[in-house]
Each structure stands twice: as C-alpha cells, then as structure tokens.
Structure 1
Amino acid sequence: MASFTVTSASVADGAAWSPEQLAGKDVSPQLSWSGAPRGTKSYAVTVYDPDAPTGSGFWHWAVADIPAAVTELPEGAGDDAGSGLPEGAIQVPNDARLARFLGAAPPAGHGVHRYFVVVHALDVESLGVPADCTPAFLGFTMASHVLGRAVLVATSETPGPERIEVSRLVPASADAIFAVLSDPQGHVDIDASGMLIDAEGDPVERAGDRFVVHMDREALGDVPLGKYDVEVVITTLVPGEEIAWTVEGRIRPHARHIYGYRLEPAEGGTLVTSYYDWSEVSEEWKNRITFPVVPESSLKATLGILERTVRRRGDSPTR
C-alpha cells in the first residue's frame, strides 16, 4: 500500500519520547501528516508498542473517523475528553481500557521499547466501530479500508536496578564467616566461577587494603585472556558486618564494579547477603561489555560454597 509522511513536534522519528509522552503525564504527541493517497476519506491514528511483554504488544492510543480535511493533531489532543480531536473523531479504549492516550512505561530493565505511531489513510468516512471496541477490533475493521500508512517510531526505556542481592542463612557466627571473607585465600576457596586459582596477601583489615589474585580466564572458555593477575581493592570493611571490594586489572580505566557481603545476626546463625553493584561503572565500560558480568545464579552458588567453606574451616585444626 502507499506510504505518506507523518512528523511530530513532540518527538523525532527514531528518538526517545519526551517526558510529556511518558506514563504519569500521558500527553499525546503533536502529529502532522501530508501526501495521503488520492481517495482518502478519513484517517485513524494508532500508537502501538510491540515490545511489551504481553504476548500481543500494547496499544497506547487509537483514534478513528478523523475527517479527511484534517492533517494535524495538536499535542495533548488525546486527553480524557479528546479536547483536541476534530468533530466526529472518536477515541476507542486502549489496552488499559482508557479512552485516551496512555504514556509509555516499559518495565524496568526490559530494554528499549518501540512505539509505532501510525496514521492510516482510509477509503471510508467512518468505520462505524463501537466507541468501546478494542484497538484490535478497530485494526481488524479498518484492514480492508487502508489506502496508505504514515509511520513514525518513538522509543522509551526504563533503566533497571544496577545491583543484584541474594541472601542465605549460614549456620555459623558472623566472626567465622568474616574470617573467610577477609582472607585472600578465602576468596579463592569460595569462588564459584573456576577462574580464581590462587591469592597472595595478608587478611585485610580496613578499606584501601589490597591483595593479588591469580586468574585463569581459560576456565570459562569465553574470552581469550588466558592467565593473568588482578588486584582486589577493599572499598568497605566493617569487621563482622560488611566487606566490599572492586577489582583492578590490566585494562584502564578500571571498571569499578563492586562485590560485597553484609552479615546480620539471625536465629540459627548469620544472614549473609551477597551483592554485586555496577552502578558506578562508566559508559566506556558499559559500551565494552554487558553488565552484570556476574549473574544472580553465581551469587547464590558462592553463598552455598561459603557455607561449606566456613564449616570446613571450623572443623580443621589448622584454621
């Protein structure tokens, strides 16, 4: 079918929606169109998100029976009253069952969503659909009447949390657990990745302390880094309560992602919370690799190994 042109003062094609078009403000975009096919007798306007995790996308706005003489909708036309719509046009309920424009609100951490803003040129003056029909029914009804479409794509993304936390009750004292976490060799003992081969250094006592860990990336078989050393730099240390660190390797600048543990007394032992935080990682590093580099499953596995290590150290006469 024929294509024609739609533009918007609210958003450029391929760009992110402005705050006005996000959920909470819910201001419909300004739209202007031109070049519709000969024989156009009315227009419909729809805004659809195919990336919504529903199995069928999400319709944010649907307007039918816009007269052929109209080639523009002002920003905010799609409010509850349809105050900016021309006479005769109707808004059918969106997928939230609201007869208005509903702003973008992708789930946090779900990535970039696309919003297809489409002006449909139709060969009838009215589609005759019920005012309370669904956008899908509207689409079905107008499918055989479309002469052309003008398409503009906007985007939106809601950043997810840049931190993972998992917890486990370990049947041991906080001091016994902390003794493992503050010992460089303890880091090797509880490693769930298979990359940590050995460590050198004294048990850490304060923020700023460092020790060396010998790594072997070949254990994962993903990145051809081979064997190399990194320095573990303690960023937080409260004896018996919390320890956190970052890793400094050969590549500059350092990534500055943080690994840590919080310890809280609990019935039956100590509640240990392992966390991984990449909120301070620079854009340069985020462009190099995908964060998080440590999945939640690895944190859970390490907590299990930590419990086993604490138990074995308690049973060993040399520890």
Structure 2
Amino acid sequence: MNDPFARLPEAASFTLTSSSVTDGAAWSPDQWAGKDISPQLSWSGAPLGTKSYAVTVYDPDAPTGSGFWHWAVADIPADVTELPEGAGDDSGSGLPEGAFQLPNDARAARFLGAAPPAGHGVHRYFVVVHALDVESLGVPADATPALLGFTMTSHVLGRAVLVATAETPGAERLEVSRLIPAAADDVFAVLSDPKGHVDIDASGMLIDAEGDRVEKEGDRFVVHMDREALGDVPLGKYDVEVVITRFVPDEEIAWTVEGRIRPPVRHIYGYRLEPAEGGTLVTSYYDWSEVGEEWKRRVTFPVVPGSALKATLGILERTVRRRAVSHP
C-alpha cells in the first residue's frame, strides 16, 4: 500500500485532532466534492524550534500515478494551532494572516473535497500538519503542492497526521439486451417454465429442474446443480430453490436463489421484455445491490459476468425458436 512518507526524512510526531473527522474514519458529507468544506483541525505538541506550519491533504490512492492533492496551505504562523472548519474556501476566509493556499491538483486555490472514482475502492486522505523550522518557505502562490512538498523536505521538524477515508460504490447491476424475433408471450413462456431455465443456461451448471410453471411472486421451484462442471469451487452436486421476486406476465420476471448456505446471498436475476419492431427486446439483468455486507466481504461480485448474460440471451432466442417448431 502506497505510503506517502516512505522515502521522506523521518520527523517527530505530534498530535492532530479534528471535530470534522476521526482518524481512520470516513469523511463526512461536508468534506466530499460538491460541498468542499475543509475540515476543522487542531494540533498540539509540535517540536521545539517550530517557526511555521503547512497543512496538506493528499490522496495517494487516486488513479493518476502521482496521487491527488486536495489542499495545501503554506506559511501558517507558529502561534496558530487550529484552523476552523471551512477555512479553505475560495477566499481562505478562515486562514490566519500571512498564510495562503496553493492551487490543488484541480488548479483551484482552495480545499477540494473527496471524489474517488466509482468502484475504485477505499481511498485514504492524509491530512498532515507539517512543523517547519522557517517562518516562510518562500514558495510562490501559484506553486504546485508537489513543489511545496519538495521545498519543505529539508525544513520539516515534525508531522501530525490524520487519515480520513472515502469510497464511491461502483455499479451493482449488469444489463444486456438482445432483439429476439418472437412475440413476448413466447419468450415469457420459456422464462416462466422451470425447465426453460435449464434450457437457456450458459454455464453448464444447471442439470434439471422440478416444479410447476411459475405464476406469481413467491412461487418456487427446485434446480439440480453440478458445480463440478466448472471445476472452480468444490461444491459438487447440490440443489437450490429458485424464488420468484417479480412477476409481470409477458413483461418482466426476476428471481433469487436459495441454497444450503444461510443467510441467502440475495442477488437477483431477471428479464425485462419490451415489444419492438421485429420481435421483442429482451433485457437480461443481474443485480447484487441487495447482497449483505457479510457476503460482499466473502465473495467478489458480480459472480456472473456480462458475457454470460449475453450468451444466455443467444441461447434463449434459440430455445424460443426450437419450442415454436416443436409446439406450433
């Protein structure tokens, strides 16, 4: 994991606290992009000989190759040990006399809130108060935070560090569509038939199904599975129950699967049907937004890739055609 201090000279540590965020905890909504309110900071115990401070907020996890600087403040007088929340606005209204903000990596001289890319995981934000042995670093107001950091290197007596976090969840749903040259009721007839699920399976895991054609939400049927066909997880042969979660005749059907493991995972599979020129536009979707955190920690989602959904739609078209020939 990238340590922004790994190749910097060692420095004494001192105490940094904040009423806006706790060390190791997530930023509050105020410190996210859009609100862009800089955190309240208080520090104490700086090394003897401190003549000024600098404050930086840096995300080493940003997908840039060089991280992302969210805030940089230089030349804070040595007798200042606190910045109020919101000090880093466009005018630096809460900064003490003599201190100034450098442009962040968005080239704005202010605090810029967190905005990690969706699905990129947890980002860390190193909030650092640097105790320096000079009253002014002499960097120009339009300098980059990287230049500020380079200039500070030989003047740092101590660092007070607080790490905040932020994460933007990624998409939790896959959808693929295909125009099937058949009426919606013919397509729906396959999807509401337990054996139809076996017929259109693209994984090779579904061996057979038992149960009546489903007619409403809450209906169930049993599917005989064979995980040995994939050779990836040692589950062998087992049964699962398919539970219908949405049922709108000729328009939409969705279900979840319950097996031996409890609690159930609660991912949802479904099909949405729309009349279209030349047949029916069929959208296959896989939704794992209702999956509990326990499962999300144990399993990497999605467990079914979009390519498998596309393959199943192709098999669905073939199955609908075959059934139409068998049962004219």
Label 1:269 to 1:55 Cα distance change in 2 as closer, same or farther (>3 A).
farther
Q: Which residue of 1 aligns with 2:6?
A: none
Gaps of 5+ in 2: 1-9
Q: Which residue of 2 aligns with 1:242?
A: 252
Q: Distance in 2 between matches of 1:301 and 1:152?
A: 49
Q: Deviations over 1:75-95 (max 9, x none)?
A: 211111111111111101111
Q: Which residue of 2 aligns with 1:53?
A: 63
Matched, 1:307 2:317: yes
Contact 1:233/1:248, CA 8 A, preserved across alignment: yes
Contact 1:2/1:37, CA 8 A, preserved across alignment: no
Contact 2:131/2:158, CA 8 A, preserved across alignment: yes
Deviation at 1:318, TM superposition (A): 5.6
- What SS class does the counterpart of residue 326 from structure 2 fall into? coil
Partner amino acid for 1:77? A
Where in structure 1 do 4 or more consecutive aligned residues deviate above 6 Å?
none
Matches within 5 A, 1:266-281: 266-281=276-291
Deviation at 1:47, TM superposition (A): 0.4
Contact 1:231/1:248, CA 8 A, preserved across alignment: yes
Q: Which residue of 1 aligns with 2:99?
A: 89
Q: Distance in 1 between matches of 2:138 and 2:83?
A: 21
How many residues in Structure 1 have an aligned counterpart in Structure 2?
318
Matched, 1:146 2:125: no
Q: Deviations over 1:178-213 (max 9, x none)?
A: 122112122112212221111122322222222111
- What SS class does the counterpart of residue 176 from structure 1 fall into? helix
Q: Which residue of 1 aligns with 2:13?
A: 4
TM-score normalised to structure 1 length: 0.92
Q: Deviations over 1:99-153 (max 9, x none)?
A: 1111112223322111011112223221222212221222222223323322110
Label 1:55 to 1:297 Cα distance change in 2 as closer, same or farther (>3 A).
farther
Matches within 5 A, 1:6-25: 6-25=16-35
Q: Which residue of 2 aligns with 1:296?
A: 306
- What SS class does the counterpart of residue 247 from structure 1 fall into? strand
Matches within 5 A, 1:211-226: 211-226=221-236
Deviation at 1:170, TM superposition (A): 2.0
**CA-based RMSD:** 1.9
Q: Distance in 2 between matches of 1:209 and 1:31?
A: 57
Q: Distance in 2 between matches of 1:227 and 1:251?
A: 14
Partner amino acid for 1:129? V
Partner amino acid for 1:107? P
Q: Distance in 1 between matches of 2:213 and 2:198?
A: 13
Contact 2:120/2:170, CA 8 A, preserved across alignment: yes
Q: Deviations over 1:280-319 (max 9, x none)?
A: 33334334433332222322222222223323333x4368
Partner amino acid for 1:39? G
TM-score normalised to structure 2 length: 0.90
Q: Percent identity at matched positions?
A: 86
Q: Distance in 2 between matches of 1:272 and 1:170?
A: 7
Label 1:298 to 1:3 Cα distance change in 2 as closer, same or farther (>3 A).
farther
Contact 2:103/2:143, CA 8 A, preserved across alignment: yes
Gaps of 5+ in 1: none
Q: Distance in 1 between matches of 2:61 and 2:314?
A: 37
Q: Distance in 1 between matches of 2:147 and 2:278?
A: 59
Contact 1:33/1:72, CA 8 A, preserved across alignment: yes
